[in-house]
Amino acid sequence: MAKVDSKKKGILAELYGTFFSKSWPMWVGGILLGVGNIALFLVLKPWGASGGIYVWGANLYNSVFSTGFGFKGGPLPAVGMFPYSIICFLLFLGAMGAALMSKQFAFRFPPVGELLKGLIGGVIMGIGAMVGKSCTLGGYFSGMAALSVGAVVFTIGLGLGTWIAVKYLMFEIMKFPKISSGKTASVLGAGKGKGAWQPYVGALVLIWGLVIAFKYTDSSSVRAWYAAIGLFFGFVCQRSRFCLVRALREPFTSGDSKPAIGAMAGILVSMFGFTVIKFMGIRDAMLWVWPHFWIPAIIGGIIFGIGMTIAGGCIVGSLWRAGEGHIKLYFAIIGAALSMPFATKYIAAPLYSALPASMQTKVFLPDYVGYGASVGLFLLFFLAWYYLVKWNERTGKFSAY
């Protein structure tokens, strides 16, 4: 009997190891996130993050200073009743649970200079998100899947902003290396003979996330399922190391094509699902087609690209890395949440008022060439992107090292 129990234990340990002993391929994470994004669209709306972080910051200001910030011209929703604010929090919890289950959690304290870069990068991201009306999710991952031409412009802006920030970081390393040097610390990390408690706590964190998802609202089971998918997203991001910043940054640094291919996989899966949903009339075809073509998209994309590269993560990347315990990314989220309400009122609003309507429109490609040709054109775009990153990986033409 003891021998049989040992075999059973070995089989279960093997199953556990499949999910938690090592990271998953990024393209696997991209596909899973793409499928989840389709589910979000069917349930309510596609994946986004900047709106949720805005609601965090605006509610904080209103509760402490009575600033009177609203949301999209209306009253400000409570944190617990706005789908994107709760999905952001549960993504954080999902990543924390996954990190604990795989014994990869630790509170990691970088040098002070890196903390400041996280905060400043977050502030810049918040400005870019409000000017461009989207972040790497709404204006890149989900926006391109929604067949929005503005999303293509925003993505080009992200690439330009990333290139500018990489150039700056290289200059900083050469001229001012002390900014990012100094003492570091790691607390509660696993290691030899340590961290046996982490998987048990991780399981409790994931259970807690599910409880929050299905109990935070009594009025809408749709919102509860929407939130639960956020927990899944955090789990997948952490396990696959899925990172939209790396997808745009690596061609300019190491030349690694894997992050870009992972992003492509997720966008393509989302795009085919979104196309069917829109074509069948299940959801409004103009959802996730933002009125930012073309000036706000390019300006917002550049600003956001600079911010996310300096911070070391976009909104979603900062959330799941914060779930792993990276303190710098906590600062990035704080910076974004604090800057977004003011950026909306004092930067984005004056900019949109000054621009003619022709420079801030919604451009849904199927309205001009039909669904079939639109999908074909986006496939050509991704094929060119794939060829470029693979060619660069082999030649190193755009890579710094």
Give the C-alpha distances (Å, rounded to integers) separating 159 from 140, 149, 170, 365.
11, 16, 17, 21
Q: Are 187 and 110 in contact (CB under 8 A)?
A: no
Predicted confidence (pLDDT) per residue in 231-256, tens digit: 999 999 999 999 999 999 998 899 99
Position 221 scores a pLDDT of: 75
Predicted confidence (pLDDT) per residue in 352-369, tens digit: 999 999 999 999 999 999
Helix 50-65, helix 327-343: angle, nearest 10 = 80
N-term to C-term CA, the chain: 58
Q: CA 133, CA 348: separation in Å to the nearest integer?
A: 9
**Angle value at C-alpha 77, between 72 and 80, nearest 5 degrees:** 140
Instruction: Spell out a b/e string for 255-268, using b for 16 or more CB atoms within 10 Å of the CB, else e.
Output: bbbbbbbbbbbbbb
Q: Are 188 and 107 in contact (CB under 8 A)?
A: yes
Return the SS3 of 99.
helix
Predicted confidence (pLDDT) per residue in 9-49, tens digit: 688 888 888 899 889 999 999 999 999 999 999 988 999 99
* pLDDT value at 222 more than 70: yes
Give the C-alpha distances (Å, rounded to integers) separating 220 from 37, 79, 83, 137, 216.
19, 15, 11, 24, 10
Q: CA 136, CA 318: separation in Å to the nearest integer?
A: 12
Kind plus residue range of the DSSP H or E element containing 98: helix 83-101
CB neighbours of residue 331 within 10 Å = 24
Q: CA 400, CA 166: separation in Å to the nearest integer?
A: 9
* pLDDT value at 218 more than 60: no
Predicted confidence (pLDDT) per residue in 81-125, tens digit: 898 999 999 999 999 999 999 999 999 999 999 999 999 999 999
User: What residues contact residue 165 under an 8 Å CB cut-off, 6+ apart?
Assistant: 305, 306, 307, 308, 309, 310
